[in-house]
Amino acid sequence: MAQQESLSLVRISVRNLVEFVMRSGDLDDRRTAGARKEAMQAGSRLHRKIQRRMGAGYQAEVILKHGVKEDKFELLIEGRADGIITEPAGVTIDEIKCIYMDLKRMDRPEPAHLAQALCYGYMYTAAHGLETIGIQLTYCNIETEEIRRFQEIKTREELESWFSGLIHEYVKWARYLYHHRLRRQACLKELEFPYAYRKGQKELAACVYRTIAQGKNLYIQAPTGVGKTLSTIFPSLKAMGEGYGDKLFYLTARTITRSVAEEAFQILRGRRHLYFNTVTITAKEKLCILEHPSCNPLDCPRARGHFDRVNDAVYEILHEEEGITREKVLEYAERFSVCPFEFCLDISSWVDGIICDYNYVFDPNVRLKRYFAEGEPAGSYLFLVDEAHNLVPRAREMYSASLIKEDILLARRILKGMSGAERVLSLLDGCNRRMLELKRAYGVGKEEEGIRHRKVLGADYELLGDVKLLALDLMAMFGELEVFMNENGEFTDRDRVLELYFQVRDFLNIHDRLDDHYRIYARVIEEGKFMVKLMCMDPSQCLKNCLDQSESTVFFSATLLPIKYYKELLSGDPEAYAVYAASPFPQKNRLVLAASDVSSRYSRRGRVQYERIADYLETIIRGRKGNYMVFFPSYQFLEQMEKVLEEREKLRPLGFDRVCQSGRMTEEEREGFLSRFEEEHNRSFAALCVMGGIFSEGIDLKEERLIGAVIVGTGLPQVNPEQEILKEYFDEREGNGFDYAYQYPGMNKVMQAAGRVIRTVNDKGVIALLDDRFLRSEYVALFPREWGTYTVVDRGNVSLALEDFWGQFPEGKGFTAYP
């Protein structure tokens, strides 16, 4: 891996330069996302098709660079021209944009597109000494492949004058980057670890550094307590100090882990005087000043003139803050009266590190285009993926899309009778008819046509061979709907039609990705609605395309077992480096119990098993006074167990207090739930939770705040059509469908729940696995190494095992069994 260029070089892409300097006026989202912008994946192949048609005089994808000397640094502008046409009459720059809208409605090129072409025109004339050059904007309709071109001739003097004005507006920002980077690099070279290393922590940090220096990817299974956040951030910063990477992305699945990353950077700033600024990107809904986000000057006062003020806001926060949190973003956004979400995204362009959700790097609809748009020059990025086990199911969602027939009909009802909607209505009718054909064929079971009908637990679904005709109808409708929405910024229930617009956009973009890693299925869902879904089975290729845009990626989690499963589904690279970090805590502080006489199997659920589980809960929770968490397979199971405990309590005291997790808890309710662990209790306290829910990972309850986790069941996902489709897919491919669809995801939830116990060197606790399936060899093989030995118990001897364990510790003596 090559180290970065000289610190005196400041780089920016043509696209980012143009979009940054030229923007002004209002923020307005009433224009749909693709109206006059290039389409996403759906247009990429057509883009290349146009280039291939252009003949021998056409050179495609030409990399252009131009340097501008300023003081002690050089500003390097770089990009990739779609095409350069060389003819006897002269040279022409060709900028291609594939869009859905009707080209007859265009009377001039989009200003940002034209500006990109003008940049390339100047860069080419400067490099080749040309006096004039042609500028051509080629627009192509994705549905019809119709082409419309806008052309003009520019002299070198005209282009030079225009380009100089562009650079003049950007120089103060480039100067800031230059001086900031000099100071940052000097700091990173001298940076030291903030604490004494824990057992194995120094070796882990060294492994991260070496991987980044080699430009490789790394998987880390890091038990709780290793200090994996600092153990990955610190060596990444040291690597950046040596020129390996220029911007760090810390990617998480949950808000709480973003806070942990913020704290880690703050520790380094406080204890080691780190000079390295970061911003945390927060979802628009959590930043917006309106109850329902509506980014246009009619609904939001901050949208009016947003672009006229936002650059000043960005410049000031960069010079006053280093750790730019959600609270800081809101504070400065209010001071400058700008949209906090768009402000936050703009800040990200100028900071050294970005803390954000996976979506901003991997989701094709949400990812930050300023870094990852197709055709952008590759940046020098490092990705740190925390809680990486969550990325597998999240990625499947990102690269899947669905469409519901009734949503098409709803949009039709809203638009009926509106002026100018006749063409859209006609095309909506065509899409509805196509969906109706699929629905009428549903359940017929035409194996010879690639349709396979299935039924699981009373739910029907149907695997389809393809939906190409539906996609063609949607494509035609989408272009007209896009034009209509842009021409009609206000009408009743516009937001409902806009929802369909985005659903269709996503469906078309995913349809263009379809390959052997996908399955298509149809299903009648709630209220008799008919759905067609493009479901991603294996997201590895989609993720790999994103990973290729980084210099190095480090995946880490307390639960990355089996590692082969995660290597296969996260990057498809079985040869990627992997390490198992040793736990720094003594095994004697942890007791793992596996019950042999209880089951949570669906077929065996009933009063007998509930009573047995209740026996275990009473014995374990009364075994030593303290706080416990009990994890159940579902809310239904939790409710049944709560009834049993209530009935027992009417007959005699249980000896412990409890609280139950409920569905759809507000943020205040979650905080109230967790605050119970901070309170002093006269007797044991138990929180009854759902495995895989909000309290089964990312909760840090140290020492006496939690001394036991009881896990009921193996965490297997509920049997449903999608899990069965996954199972069948992996059975066909490798014969391990049950493992991939059920066992591995289930055991991941078990290990996450168990990880709530033993968070520090002073922690002591019990992990109780209540299901006889845990004793089967295929489950034991998935137990994490730090669990060490486990103790097989039944209701008759579990109290003895607890007494022996707690009796090791002075404060644990005085074990009280139920009289």
State residue 35's pLDDT score. Answer: 40
Element (H, E) at 512: none
State residue 759's pLDDT score. Answer: 84
Protein fold of 213-398+540-580: Rossmann fold (3.40.50)
Say whether domain 9-170 belongs to CATH 3.90.320.10.
Answer: yes
Cα-to-chain-centroid distance, residue 432: 32
**∠ Cα 611 617 763 (to 5°):** 165
CB 284 within 8 A of CB 320: no
Characterize the bridge pairing of strands 518-524 and 459-464. Answer: antiparallel
State residue 378's pLDDT score. Answer: 64
Q: Which residue has the tokens 């629905």?
A: 439
State residue 444's pLDDT score. Answer: 58
- Could you report the per-residue pLDDT of 726-767, keeping only the tens digit for each? 999 999 998 899 999 999 999 999 999 999 998 888 899 999
State residue 34's pLDDT score. Answer: 44
- Could you report the per-residue pLDDT of 50-102, keeping only the tens digit for each? 887 887 889 988 999 999 998 889 999 999 999 999 999 899 999 998 887 77
Handedness of CA 175, 176, 180, 181 (dihedral sign): negative
Q: What is the Cα–Cα distance from 247 to 382, expressed in whole angstroms? A: 6
Helix 422-441 and helix 468-487: axis angle, to 10°?
A: 150
Question: Does residue 109 have a cis peptide bond before it, meaning omega lies within 30 degrees of 0?
Answer: no
List the one residue out of 709, 700, 694 whose CA is nearest residue 765.
709
DSSP 54: T
State residue 379's pLDDT score. Answer: 72
Q: State which amino acid sits at residue 742.
A: Y
Supply the CATH classification number for the domain 401-536.
1.10.275
Phi, psi of 388 (to 5 degrees): -60, -20
State residue 765's pLDDT score. Answer: 94
State the CB neighbour count (10 A cutoff) for residue 556. 25
State the CB neighbour count (10 A cutoff) for residue 524. 17
CB 367 within 8 A of CB 281: no
Protein fold of 587-812: Rossmann fold (3.40.50)
State residue 224's pLDDT score. Answer: 81
State residue 85's pLDDT score. Answer: 93
Cα-to-chain-centroid distance, residue 137: 34
Per-10-residue mean pLDDT of the chain, 819 residues long, equals: 67 90 85 47 68 84 92 90 92 88 84 94 96 94 86 96 94 93 95 90 95 96 88 97 96 88 96 94 93 88 94 96 97 97 95 97 90 71 96 97 97 95 96 95 58 67 94 93 88 93 94 96 93 98 94 95 96 93 89 97 91 97 95 96 95 92 89 92 95 87 90 95 96 93 97 90 93 96 93 97 92 41
Q: In sequence order, which residues have a C-beta less than 8 Å from that of residue 604 and are 6 or more positions away?
A: none
Domain ranges of the chain: 9-170, 213-398+540-580, 401-536, 587-812
Q: What is the Cα–Cα distance from 683 to 706, expressed in whole angstroms? A: 13
Cα-to-chain-centroid distance, residue 54: 39
Q: What is the Cα–Cα distance from 192 to 267, expressed in whole angstroms? A: 12
- Could you report the per-residue pLDDT of 102-118, keeping only the tens digit for each? 788 888 998 889 999 99
Label residues 791-803 b or e (16+ Cβ within 10 Å = b).
Answer: bebebeebbebbb
- Could you report the per-residue pLDDT of 688-703, keeping only the tens digit for each? 999 999 898 878 888 7
Q: Which residue has the tokens 């880690």?
A: 264
- Is there a shared CATH topology between the 213-398+540-580 domain and the 587-812 domain? yes
State residue 491's pLDDT score. Answer: 92
List the one residue out of 623, 562, 510, 480 whose CA is nearest residue 747.
562
Cα-to-chain-centroid distance, residue 68: 37
**∠ Cα 642 645 648 (to 5°):** 155
